[in-house]
Amino acid sequence: MAGVAVLALLATLALQCGQGQEVLVGREVVESSARRFVEEAEKELMNQCTRTMQAAWNYQTDLTTHHRTLLVNEQDTFKRMQEESRQEAGRWRSVDYLFTDSDLKDRLDKMSVIGLPELPSPSMTSYRRVLSDMTHIYTSASVCSRYRPSRCSLTPHSGLNELMSTSRDPEELSQLWESWRDRTKTIRHSYRAFVVLANRAVQGFNFRHKGDMNYVEYGAGDLMEQLQEAWEQLQPLYLQLHAYVRRKLREEYGSQLVTERGPLPAHLLGNIWGQEWPLAYLLPRPDLPPLDVTPEMVRQGMTPRAIFEIADDFFVSLGLERAPPSFWRTSLLQEPEDRSVVCSASTWDFCDGKDFRVKQCTKVTQDDFVSAHHEMAHLQYFRQYRHLPYLYRKGANPGFHEAIGLAVGLSVATPRHFRRMGLIRAGEEPGYLSQINTLMHLALRQLPFMPFARVMDLWREGVFNGTTHEKDWNCAWWDLRVSVQGIKPPDVRTEKDFDPGAKYQIAADSSYTRYFVAFVLQFQIYKSLCMAAGEYDPKDKRKSLHECDFYLSPAAGNILRSVMKLGASKPWEEVVEVLTEGRETGLNATAMREYYKPLEEWLTRDNLRHGEYVGWRPDGEYCLYKKPLRYSRCSVG
């Protein structure tokens, strides 16, 4: 072994010196040059990251073309720099078996894939063109309602989903559903070129296909199996929800349209993709108003700034750090009147270990109250790992940051927390049915999403790895939609359609896995913090997970701190072990099931009482696979 190592070493050094002469250098010297490379590259990347974030902030908080140009320049420089570091790191990795420092190896590993999932890199022009063709088709698509000519230029985020969730006219709904797919189906032609180019691009980095690269940031674990297992854990709950929703839809639309044992018609679900079912009439008690502390917030004269101070206090109550004075000076906490800004809430790490900000056009509402805490959770995470080397200053995996924000949101949105904050009075807590209503409201937004995200992942995986042939792309999509989600199209689809392309993340090829991961993880985090706070005990029947608030618990804070300060310096599965004090070793949907347990019990009873069939069976043909062409020649004479 040693002999081989020395040979390789000599070869490398000889190459580097550009001469054949033997130079005898110890492995320590090579290792320390590698370390110097990593440290210097990290410093350069960090500086450019700061410049890029500053340009992005300037643009997003003042949308001018000048700011945009500056941003694009910084982004291009950053991408180029990442590409160079990636290549150089790749060269060092070819001798990393010489190194004894495992941290150095890990950082070289991370650097050798840095920025890769955000391809296109500047050197792949044709890839970039195809990708931008697809997103262009998607973002310029819009539809009209044939039945309401006043409703036109609808897009999912501008009117279309709203109409899908408010109209009860099945004709209108199926027309909207189909039009949106007609407008986006030409993406199919570019997608063909895209798959070829994407696979070719990543093979240069030793991935078998683009599908494998999509998971690179999750490390070497068995992510695919974990995703599948988590989904299987959730299935029993999903099946109960599915059966209940089918009965409600059947009552609304009749059993002609919604058969007793069939999949759900996709156009009736209140969302153009059927990924959430936000329909008020699906609540057990649509007449019961949801808990809303907005009027009380307004009555108390809360301001956006005050909301963020309260959110900051939340983390201080856990024994975590207060936001620094610079945060309050530099953040943008309400919409300015003199310029246009990107209003969606976000938290910013300027990569210098000092500058952290929030941008949120805060309104004095319950939603924004919860979202302020969510953003401040991101801020804590950034600050807790600010001392780590640049390459480790990230969430433990691509879903972790969001999961922590969501877990904090779960705690903050409980009646218990609102009472502690003086926003509802004792005795005003919602009763049992009202709690079921609230759980259902959340479940209709979260549970259908889980199998949908599975469909997205499975379909792409099959396409990238070549098991799903191009001629079957659309029908393979529907096979998954039917078998995993229990959803069917309003009409028979064909291979002239391209229904996956009706979803932005397919058209723009961005990852969807992280949302699935974040949804499952948020409950793992929430449960652990609740157990640490003594607010939840799976064996104590009097305590329900969904009622827990871990506010004021330094024990919960300690766990949160030990998780956050690891950043991405350890495989994320180990971070989950730290989080759960060894109980869990990866993605695990047990906590999510426990959270929804009261609802699952309610649904099971309700389905039994109505004699509902739980599950689904095919009740027709959903997609016509292309038959082999039969040539019937006209025989002339």
Q: Note the residues at the interface with ligand NAG (CB under 6 A).
A: 458, 461-462, 465, 467, 583-585, 588, 590
Spatial separation of the C-alpha atoms in residues 471 and 473, rounded to whole Å: 6
Find which of ligand NAG, Zn ion, none residue 121 binds, CB within 5 to 8 Å per kind.
none
CB of 464 to ligand NAG, least distance (A): 8
Question: 614-633 mask for Zn ion (x: CB under 5 A)?
Answer: --------------------
Q: With respect to ligand NAG, which residue has the nearer C-beta, 27 or 583? A: 583
H/E stretch holding 356: strand 356-359
Find which of Zn ion, ligand NAG, none residue 584 binds, CB within 5 to 8 Å per kind.
ligand NAG
Q: With respect to ligand NAG, which residue has the nearer C-beta, 160 or 227? A: 227
Using CB under 5 A, which residues numbered 14 to 73 contact Zn ion? none
Using CB under 5 A, which residues numbered 386 to 405 contact Zn ion? 402, 405
Question: 305-344 mask for Zn ion (x: CB under 5 A)?
Answer: ----------------------------------------
CB of 22 to ligand NAG, least distance (A): 45
Residue 625, CA distances (Å) to 183, 482, 499 in order: 21, 15, 14
Beta bridge partners of 155: 158, 159
Q: With respect to Zn ion, which residue has the nearer C-beta, 402 or 461? A: 402
Using left for φ > 0, alpha for ψ between -120 and 50, and beta otherwise, residue 274 falls in left
Residue with tokens 């004090």: 581
Type of residue found at 33:
S
Q: With respect to ligand NAG, which residue has the nearer C-beta, 107 or 209? A: 209
Using left for φ > 0, alpha for ψ between -120 and 50, and beta otherwise, residue 159 falls in left
Pick the closest to residue 374 from 339, 413, 335 (CA basis): 413
CB of 378 to Zn ion, least distance (A): 6
CB of 564 to Zn ion, least distance (A): 14
- Cβ atoms of residues 318 and 560 within 8 Å: yes
CB of 466 to ligand NAG, least distance (A): 7
Q: With respect to ligand NAG, which residue has the nearer C-beta, 451 or 462? A: 462
Find which of ligand NAG, Zn ion, none residue 583 binds, CB within 5 to 8 Å per kind.
ligand NAG
Joined together, the tokens standing for residue 156 give 């999912």
Find which of Zn ion, ligand NAG, none residue 588 binds, CB within 5 to 8 Å per kind.
ligand NAG
DSSP code at position 622: -
Question: 402-421 mask for Zn ion (x: CB under 5 A)?
Answer: x--x----------------
Q: With respect to Zn ion, which residue has the nearer C-beta, 31 or 402? A: 402
Q: With respect to ligand NAG, which residue has the nearer C-beta, 370 or 530? A: 530
Q: With respect to Zn ion, which residue has the nearer C-beta, 405 or 501? A: 405
Pick the closest to residue 500 from 522, 525, 474, 520 (CA basis): 474
CA-only gyration radius of the chain, Å? 27
Pick the closest to residue 512 from 437, 581, 452 (CA basis): 452
Find which of ligand NAG, Zn ion, none residue 126 binds, CB within 5 to 8 Å per kind.
none
Residue with tokens 């009552």: 251
Q: With respect to Zn ion, which residue has the nearer C-beta, 31 or 375? A: 375
Beta bridge partners of 356: 349
CB of 449 to ligand NAG, least distance (A): 19
Q: With respect to Zn ion, which residue has the nearer C-beta, 270 or 405? A: 405
Strands 493-494 and 623-624: parallel
- Cβ atoms of residues 146 and 175 within 8 Å: yes
Spatial separation of the C-alpha atoms in residues 192 and 135, rounded to whole Å: 14
CB of 2 to ligand NAG, least distance (A): 38
Find which of ligand NAG, Zn ion, none residue 510 binds, CB within 5 to 8 Å per kind.
none
Q: How far is CA 79 from the centre of its chain?
A: 23
CB of 519 to ligand NAG, least distance (A): 16
CB of 582 to ligand NAG, least distance (A): 10
Count, residues near Zn ion per rule CB under 5 A: 2
DSSP code at position 482: I
Spatial separation of the C-alpha atoms in residues 315 and 294, rounded to whole Å: 22
- Cβ atoms of residues 127 and 198 within 8 Å: yes
CB of 355 to Zn ion, least distance (A): 19
CB of 479 to ligand NAG, least distance (A): 11
Pick the closest to residue 188 from 482, 474, 488, 468 (CA basis): 474
CB of 465 to ligand NAG, least distance (A): 4
Spatial separation of the C-alpha atoms in residues 106 and 100, rounded to whole Å: 11
Q: With respect to Zn ion, which residue has the nearer C-beta, 402 or 479? A: 402
Beta bridge partners of 359: 332, 346
Residue number with the smallest Cβ distance to Zn ion? 405
Find which of Zn ion, ligand NAG, none residue 405 binds, CB within 5 to 8 Å per kind.
Zn ion
H/E stretch holding 493: strand 493-494
Backbone angles phi, psi at 348, to 5 degrees: -120, 135
DSSP code at position 629: P
Find which of Zn ion, ligand NAG, none residue 604 binds, CB within 5 to 8 Å per kind.
none
CB of 511 to Zn ion, least distance (A): 15
- Cβ atoms of residues 418 and 290 within 8 Å: no
Q: With respect to ligand NAG, which residue has the nearer C-beta, 51 or 583? A: 583
Question: 146-185 mask for Zn ion (x: CB under 5 A)?
Answer: ----------------------------------------
Find which of Zn ion, ligand NAG, none residue 461 binds, CB within 5 to 8 Å per kind.
ligand NAG
Spatial separation of the C-alpha atoms in residues 592 and 410, rounded to whole Å: 12
Spatial separation of the C-alpha atoms in residues 567 and 376, rounded to whole Å: 16
Find which of ligand NAG, Zn ion, none residue 465 binds, CB within 5 to 8 Å per kind.
ligand NAG
- Cβ atoms of residues 34 and 27 within 8 Å: no
Q: With respect to ligand NAG, which residue has the nearer C-beta, 106 or 461? A: 461
In the complex, the residues that contact Zn ion under the rule CB under 5 A are: 402, 405
